[in-house]
Amino acid sequence: MDMNTSGITQSQTMIHSVEKAKEIVRRVFHAYSGSLAVRFWNGETVELGAGSPRATVIFRAPGPFRELALFRDPLRFAEAYFHGLVDVEGNLFSVLEQKEHLQSLSFSAPESFSLLAAALLLGNGLDERGNPPVEVRRSKEWPVRPSRKHSQAADRKAIAFHYDVSNDFYGLWLDGQMVYSCAYFENADDSLDEAQRNKLDYLCRKLRLRQSERLLDIGCGWGALICWAAKHYGVQAHGITLSRNQYEYARTKIREQGLEKQVTVELRDYRNVAGEAVYDKIVSVGMFEHVGLKNLPLYFRTAHRLLKPDGLFLNHGITHDEEGWRKSHATTFINRYVFPDGELDTASNVQRVMERSQFEILDVEALRPHYALTLRHWVSRLEQRREKALQYVDEATYRIWRLYMTACALEFESGGAGVYQILASRRQPGAAAVALTRRDLYDRPCGQPRSDAFRPPTKSGGTPYSYPESTVLQIHNLSGIRHGT
């Protein structure tokens, strides 16, 4: 066979495969009401739905298209995108929103057979030039295989995989204080920096922080909260992390702000924090997701051990709408590419473990819409800084993060994931360590502690106390109710 004949045959094969692919697309999206486009490996584009397409999905070879058509598996699509075999131009959110559409499709037996036959005839996986498609560069070893051991060594390795990507990379899309958790939006149009300042202060208010109290931050990240609490509330703050990058950054930040006498940070596993009743207040933000479900009792018992009898513990973390951490497309993707060994549970199960660890739950607040907004900010900022991001990470890592955060935003918006702040104290007789209402959380400017903050009983024996006017009731020795003066 001469070169001309070979070229003609190859061209005919490509045309045939594209026609089969267009047939599949038209059947799958025959009742589609959105606006999307699909571009095939020969450059042809098919527009779907009504109006101008919000995004174009680009298949660089028949293989990934065939995989998606045969299995309707979003994980296969994600992996093809990471490898550069599939691309997305435009709004990635509008593409991922098709997951429910694809998974809800139902075909008759003849229709299913016809689609299967068309998919199997798609060709050999060559691109428009007749060459195997080139995968994007990747410097990181992935996918990873989760250990699920949650030993200290395994947890250090998992934390390094996620958090030690690059401080510069995170800095491109996080706020100015490098807060990597759900922000708190008082208004939907708040800037990310403003919403993260709101969140830091809201945590301090919920903890009712007071001058000179000792605060422990379990999983302190890049140190934003411990610095904020020391600077605005006068506490002695200590943070622990397993991430070397976060530790080095936090130390520098503490030094730059002149907080060395108030704030300390160390590389330490929560299981190795020594002492009994050491801290007035303990906070953990976005950390317990890494603990592992089997270790949640140990995690909460450790916080209970370290907390003073009249102290407060605030756990801020992501939850799932299903019990346990069963294997699924979503859980496999997260553990394989983003959070090795990360596990979520329902809010009710988390509270049950806390109560069995002798905590009394004082307040529970759901912040699910706030995380959806936060993630949309992160995705937008990352996309706007793509070229800069590629100076710090490879193309595959950029794609993983873009897809991961987009999918997470949609998961929070749909209710599949939640985020809760759970405030608790050690279970004991007497009054709780908070005021009777939440009014003290909302009635002052950001960063300004209350001068009359509620002060819970600290002595045994029912000795009377003098209380601010905002506190109207106080229990003494469980023997009756007395009005505060």
Query: Which residues are paired to 89 by β-bridges?
Result: 56
With beta carbons less than 8 A apart as the criterion, state whether 137 and 268 touch: no
With beta carbons less than 8 A apart as the criterion, state whether 209 and 239 touch: no
Closest CA to 74 of 469, 403, 470, 468: 403
With beta carbons less than 8 A apart as the criterion, state whether 223 and 239 touch: yes
- Could you tell me which residues come within 8 angstroms of residue 200 by beta carbon, excluding any fewer than 6 positions away? 177, 179, 224, 225, 228, 229
The rounded distance, in Å, linking the Cα atoms of 330 and 217 is 29
The rounded distance, in Å, linking the Cα atoms of 296 and 290 is 10
Query: Which residues are paired to 481 by β-bridges?
Result: 475
Pairing of strands 86-90, 236-241: unpaired
Q: Give the dihedral of Cα atoms 285, 286, 291, 293; nearest 10 deg.
A: 110
**Candidates 182, 220, 227, 408; catalytic one:** 408
- Would you call 204 a catalytic residue per the annotation? no
Assess whether the previous peptide bond of 143 is cis (omega < 30° from 0). Answer: yes
With beta carbons less than 8 A apart as the criterion, state whether 166 and 393 touch: yes
With beta carbons less than 8 A apart as the criterion, state whether 314 and 206 touch: yes
Q: What are φ and ψ of residue 87, in 5° steps?
A: -125, 165
With beta carbons less than 8 A apart as the criterion, state whether 196 and 179 touch: yes
Distance of CA 445 to the CA centre of its chain: 28
In the block, tokens 């949650």 appear at 150
In the block, tokens 């009377």 appear at 464
- Could you tell me which residues come within 8 angstroms of residue 178 by beta carbon, excluding any fewer than 6 positions away? 167, 170, 171, 221, 222, 223, 224, 249
Q: Which residues are catalytic?
A: 408
